[in-house]
Amino acid sequence: MELQCKMDITEWLNNEYIQQNFRKASSVVVSAVYNELYVYIWFICIYNIFLLVIVVINLYLLIRLWRGGGYIPSWLGGSGSTNCDNS
């Protein structure tokens, strides 16, 4: 019984007409989902680029501070001077 059912399902899936109908139906669903998610995919990509830029800037500032406390502009939260004394 189980073997007969399995054979019926494989015969049904191997039918060319059913495969064409399944492709048409799945392409409609896939395109609808893609059109709905398109904006969110772009938002995620732009957000990741923004985070990468922030990480690179932070890494650059950290290396500069680590190597000798170089000048950090006041608009970045530094004192604007080249010495490390806060007095």
Whole-angstrom distance, CA of residue 54 vs CA of residue 58: 6
Report the pLDDT averaged over residues 16-41.
Answer: 87
Radius of gyration of the chain (CA): 30
**Percent of the chain at pLDDT exceeding 70:** 71
What value does the mean pLDDT take over residues 56-71?
Answer: 82
pTM beyond cutoff 0.75: no
Stretch 21-46: mean pLDDT: 90
Q: How confident is the model at residue 87 (pLDDT cuts 50, 70, 90)?
A: very low
41-66 mean pLDDT: 93
**pLDDT value at 69 more than 80:** no
